[in-house]
């Protein structure tokens, strides 16, 4: 068993394995890697550093189990999903504490992450008695037309670290209820959360080979999954650049991509500023800004700009940064050293671009990847600070004169996931609903807070397809059925 050499205390670190064809197994590489607690920089586990040979073994297991799982009636598949839901409920506190330890978010947010997993397994289990197809009239007599849902087959799931239990569940639950088998690659920053979720699925009596878990890097595990000719569907959540690589290398797979964004909250002159303040704090600094829905641009009407700026800075300076299990902590650490360096980098970029730093812009001495809540003002909407996704606790204030300018600035990016507007004016609200080029628009709420029974996904460079409650289309094919009971050959399209 590996030993923790990161401090003077000798602590044995558990080694975790891949799960392939119903067995916990070591990687064929015989190599491992550590996952670190981002608040302490101490390793919490040792994990398999797998490669394409492990991916191939997982594909073979998924292929072998596919006929049995496909032919299991969907209501019976649903019974297992309900068991998973129940076990997640029982384990919610333990899993939330594990997520704080491995990912870094504060406890209440980690518990919310687990709750999302509970909700999606419950929702998709309900689809086991639905999975509706459609009927439609035929152009011919004595002929019946319909569609049914069929599984894709073997699918690959590549998931991120920022929601290490919820987002895998967003993919696993619909893929399972549709009858697919799969290879699941959790992020190398949070592999233990993925393994614990796998253990729950095993405990719920999921047949062997239906879900196969392989840990390792994007290069050595993710790329072989993307290019594998016998993986017929792929669902990925992560960066825009990786999404572009997938589109170029996945061949003719059915691909679902949930990528980055640069989300905005519009605050109009008639807004309830106290309510807007709560939404901005939650959107900008919740999960330390490490959400694809994070509010990294605050677009404020000139009539209330100075007042709101003072309100925001006053509260942001009081936010407490620290370990997520401490009840007094408001904001946890960034996920790793690279993320910390990126926040420093964009602070320097903002200063060089002429933006004014109002607070934050620096880390905290000692162990852990901590960075203080950071706010810039006098920000040009076309600057890098206002255009590029940072994925850290940094937000910018942009002044506008009217609703037209607000919508123009909000839409003036290459992404389009989540948007919000604070106003008491219904005309403003409905203009935002109709004109904002985003997959999600909130009125008088933050950019964060998606519910699992609605579609989750964006426009433009944010990705391709939808997740959560509307993801059945991503994990199934709609098959056309024609039944001719005329007793003779009938030719469509009016051919005699």
Token digits for 294? 């994070």
Query: Which run of H or E residues covers position 70?
Result: helix 52-71
Query: Which run of H or E residues covers position 378?
Result: none
Q: Which of 178, 193, 292, 410 is catalytic?
A: 292
Rounded CA gap, 93 and 496, in Å? 68
Residues 6+ apart with CB under 8 A from 293: 261, 263, 283, 417, 418, 440, 447, 448, 450
Beta strands in 76-188 (DSSP E): 135-136, 143-151, 154-158, 181-185
Rounded CA gap, 334 and 287, in Å? 9
Residues 6+ apart with CB under 8 A from 56: 224, 228
| 12 DSSP assignment | B
Closest CA to 213 of 446, 47, 379, 46: 47
CA distance to 10, 26, 110, 115, 210, per residue, from 87 (Å):
34, 26, 17, 12, 18
Please give the distance of CA 319 from its chain centroid, rounded to a whole number: 25
Closest CA to 340 of 366, 312, 371, 318: 371
Q: Is 387 exposed, middle or buried (0-12, 13-18, 19+ CB in 10 A)?
A: middle
On whether the CB atoms of residues 432 and 441 are closer than 8 A, the answer is yes
Is 410 among the residues known to form the active site? Answer: no
Burial 257-285 (b: 16+ CB within 10 A, else e): bbbbbbbbbbbbbebebeebbebbbbbbb
Rounded CA gap, 43 and 41, in Å? 7
Q: In this structure, is the dihedral angle defined by the CA atoms of residues 415, 416, 418 and 422, taken in order, positive or negative?
A: positive
- Please identify every residue annotated as catalytic: 292
């Amino acid at each position: 068993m590996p030993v923790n050499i990161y401090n003077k205390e000798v602590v044995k670190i558990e080694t975790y394995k891949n799960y392939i064809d119903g067995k916990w197994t070591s990687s064929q590489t015989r190599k491992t890697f550590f996952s670190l607690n981002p608040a302490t920089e101490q390793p919490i586990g040792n994990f398999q550093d797998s490669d394409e040979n492990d991916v191939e073994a997982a594909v073979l297991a998924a292929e072998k189990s596919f006929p049995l799982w496909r032919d299991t009636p969907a209501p019976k598949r649903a019974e297992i999903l309900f068991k998973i839901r129940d076990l997640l409920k029982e384990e919610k506190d333990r899993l939330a504490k594990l997520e704080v330890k491995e990912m870094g978010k504060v406890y209440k947010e980690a518990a919310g992450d687990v709750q999302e997993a509970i909700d999606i397994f419950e929702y998709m289990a309900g689809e086991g008695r639905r999975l509706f197809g459609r009927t439609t009239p035929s152009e011919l007599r004595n002929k019946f037309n319909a569609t049914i849902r069929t599984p894709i087959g073997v699918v690959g799931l590549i998931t991120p670290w920022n929601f290490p239990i919820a987002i895998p569940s967003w993919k696993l639950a619909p893929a399972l209820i549709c009858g697919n088998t799969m290879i699941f690659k959790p992020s190398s920053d949070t592999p233990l959360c993925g393994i614990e979720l796998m253990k729950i699925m095993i405990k719920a009596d999921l047949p062997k080979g239906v879900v196969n878990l392989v840990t390792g890097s994007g290069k050595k595990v993710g790329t072989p999954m993307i290019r594998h000719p016998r993986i017929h569907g792929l669902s990925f959540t992560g960066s825009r650049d990786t999404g572009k690589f997938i589109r170029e290398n996945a061949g003719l797979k059915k691909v679902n991509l949930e990528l980055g964004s640069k989300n905005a909250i519009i605050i109009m002159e008639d807004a309830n500023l106290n309510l807007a303040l709560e939404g901005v704090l939650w959107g900008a600094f919740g999960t330390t800004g490490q959400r694809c829905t994070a509010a990294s641009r605050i677009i404020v009407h000139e009539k209330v700009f100075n007042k709101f700026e003072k309100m925001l800075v006053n509260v942001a300076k009081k936010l407490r940064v620290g370990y997520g299990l401490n009840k007094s902590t408001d904001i946890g650490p960034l996920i790793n050293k690279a993320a910390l360096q990126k926040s420093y980098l964009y602070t320097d970029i903002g200063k060089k671009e002429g933006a004014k730093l109002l607070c934050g812009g620096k880390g905290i001495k000692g162990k852990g990847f901590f960075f203080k809540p950071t706010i810039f003002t006098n920000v040009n909407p076309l600057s890098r600070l206002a255009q590029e996704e940072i994925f850290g606790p940094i937000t910018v204030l942009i002044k506008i004169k009217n609703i037209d300018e607000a919508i123009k600035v909000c839409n003036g990016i290459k992404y389009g996931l989540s948007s919000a507007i604070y106003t008491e004016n219904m005309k403003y609200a409905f203009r935002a609903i109709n004109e904002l080029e985003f997959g999600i628009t909130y009125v008088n709420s933050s950019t964060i807070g998606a519910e699992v029974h609605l579609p989750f996904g964006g426009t433009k460079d944010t990705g391709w397809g939808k997740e959560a409650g509307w993801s059945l289309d991503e994990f199934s094919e709609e098959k056309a059925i024609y039944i001719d009971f005329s007793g003779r050959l009938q030719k469509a399209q009016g051919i005699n």
